[in-house]
Amino acid sequence: MKSNYNKILSPFTFPVSGINITNRIVLAPMTTFSGNDDGTTTDAEVAYYRERNQSAGLLITACAYVIKHGKGFHGQIGADSNELIPSLKRIADALKANGNKAVLQLYHGGRMSPPEELVDGQSLSASAVAAVREGAQVPREMTATEIEETIVAFGEATRRAIEAGFDGVEIHGANTYLLQQFFSPHSNRRTDKWGGDLMKRMTFPLAVVDAVIESAALSSNPFLVGYRLSPEELENPGITMEDTLHLVETLSLKQLDYLHISVMDFWEGSMRDKNDTAPRAQLIATKVGHSLPVIGVGSLHTPEEVERVLTGNIPLVAMARELLMEPHWLTKVKNNAVDQIRTELDVNTQDLLKIPTPLWSALISRTGWLPVKNNQH
């Protein structure tokens, strides 16, 4: 049976690694809160990934911390020691079991790390400036040594991802975490080489990219490296679209396979300027998409919505919430069974959807994030 959705089902080859995927869908990285306290994965988390291993051509894990002081969530997996390679391999094996490509997302929480998850209860960041949110801890400014150690940690976590059998890594430079904190004039007030003007605020993220790419080059198999970013910040001073266009232009000179643009709604315009209505990912793709493929994401649910995005200059679409509710979205698109795609989260389907209890509790309790169908019996 021929599907009606040719763009979604067309293959794609990443430009640097040469890795090929059979369709244009990406499983977006979603925090599961379902690992063990020692950073290892759990049976429930592995089952969750196995259930979704046919949901996309490229499958990105929840973020893994690269160093202890970067842990950002309760139940987060780690990639900060060689002891965790067998745990990471369990996830890679589950994701790759049906022939799709698995990517480990690498992360440091910076000032967003909850003190109770940190060994000494103190978060670190570019500068001692708290996030603009209620009860935020004032982070301690990182020393030059800690910065260098963190850059090395990203490279070492990449090596572990290779040893665990992943096909690539995604550098998490989005959603207000450490790499974004160094790039932001709000959180980075440093006067040394790691802060200052726009170019200097890029120094740390670019050093992380270089360390990761250097480790990736050691893989005997093709291995891809992607970078996720948030295009703007609401804070003043904060990251502007102009800043981000400078950053992506610089990133396009690196040996990266893709940029992943993190926004809540793909079609939404600027969060800083209501008169600027152009979708952020499209602006970035116009700037660098000819050499660095852009992954779009954000409130895309139906195959029609995804095809519309793929008609523009965006070659790949990541989906998060939709693939939580419907792990077999892609199979149903292939089989022209679109009318059978689940569009809400039935409260009776946790076991069916293989969603671990910590993630399930978060989904059910977070009002308005997913359409929840409550027909308990």
Among residues 5, 48, 107, 177, the one annotated as catalytic is 177
Rounded Cα distance, 244 and 247, in Å:
5
Alpha-carbon dihedral sign for residues 63, 68, 73, 78? positive
- 357: Cβ contacts below 8 Å, ≥ 6 apart: 34, 44, 350
For residue 327, the Cα-to-chain-centroid distance in whole angstroms is: 18
Judge residue 81's burial from the number of C-beta atoms within 10 Å of its C-beta, 0-12 exposed, 13-18 middle, 19 or more buried.
middle
Tokens, residue 249: 């232009």
Rounded Cα distance, 51 and 327, in Å:
7
Q: Hey, which bits of 289-330 come out as E strands?
A: 294-297, 316-319
Contacts 24+ apart (CB under 8 A), 129-137: 129/186, 129/187, 129/189, 131/176, 131/187, 132/186, 132/234, 132/235, 136/111, 137/111
Catalytic annotation on 177? yes
Count of other CB atoms within 10 angstroms of residue 33: 18
Tokens, residue 331: 């199979």
For residue 316, give the nearest of 339, 289, 278 by alpha carbon: 289
Active site residues: 177
